[in-house]
Amino acid sequence: MKFFADTSDIEDIKKLNEAGMLDGVTTNPSIIAKSGRDFIPLIEEICDIVDGPVSAEVASTDYETMSKEGAKLAAIADNVAVKVPLTPAGLRVCKELSDKGTMVNVTLCFSPGQALLAAKAGAAFISPFVGRLDDICQDGLQLISDVLRIYENYEYFDTQVLVASVRNPLHIIDSAKMGAHVVTCPPKVIHQLYNHPLTDKGLAGFVEDWKKTGQSIL
């Protein structure tokens, strides 16, 4: 499974990248607004750090403006994945950009039917929102399972399932069990995967026993 960080925090991105835990980055208008940074320079900086896909989202909802924004974002760097909403206009732009060889991440997916449309439009990634479905008492992970099953039926679909709106490590683990291609989440959720009380307990014991030897490796 590929790990994408859903953030614009440069330090978090650098740390995860240096640890080999980062395959890409996703952003959205809310994340950009929170950063307080200018959009284009920020995406350029992230693309310089990360070799994998960096999702940069259009801000408009009409086709004409969205198309122009998508072309501008795609020109930032070869690893930009233009992010478009799952609307008729968004999928039209997806088709347009994907036909030109640009990666497109179709976002705000909440049903298997929507995911099917995105694959038909040539999306490189489809982003089903697990946590937001859970919030309204629907099974977000069931959506992941349904989309994967549909895509597996048609070998000519190249769209990767990018699990989004991830709230906790179990979302990652359960999605990985299903065979989801990518997960995107805040860095803190990735870091939570390290945690286990038995690891902490075992390490503390090793450290204490090593001190008793009076030795030093260096």
Q: Which domains does the chain have, with CATH numbers?
A: 2-192 (3.20.20.70)
Arithmetic mean of pLDDT over the chain: 97
pLDDT tier for residue 184 given thresholds of 50, 70 and 90: very high
At 183 the pLDDT is 98
**Contact criterion met (CB below 8 Å) for 33 and 112:** no
pLDDT digits (tens, 9 = 90+) for 24-71: 999 999 999 999 999 999 999 999 999 999 999 999 999 999 999 999
At 45 the pLDDT is 98
Averaged pLDDT for residues 149-161:
97
In terms of Cβ atoms closer than 10 Å to its own Cβ (0-12, 13-18, 19+), residue 95 is middle
**pTM for this one?**
0.95
pLDDT tier for residue 75 given thresholds of 50, 70 and 90: very high
* Residues forming the active site: 83
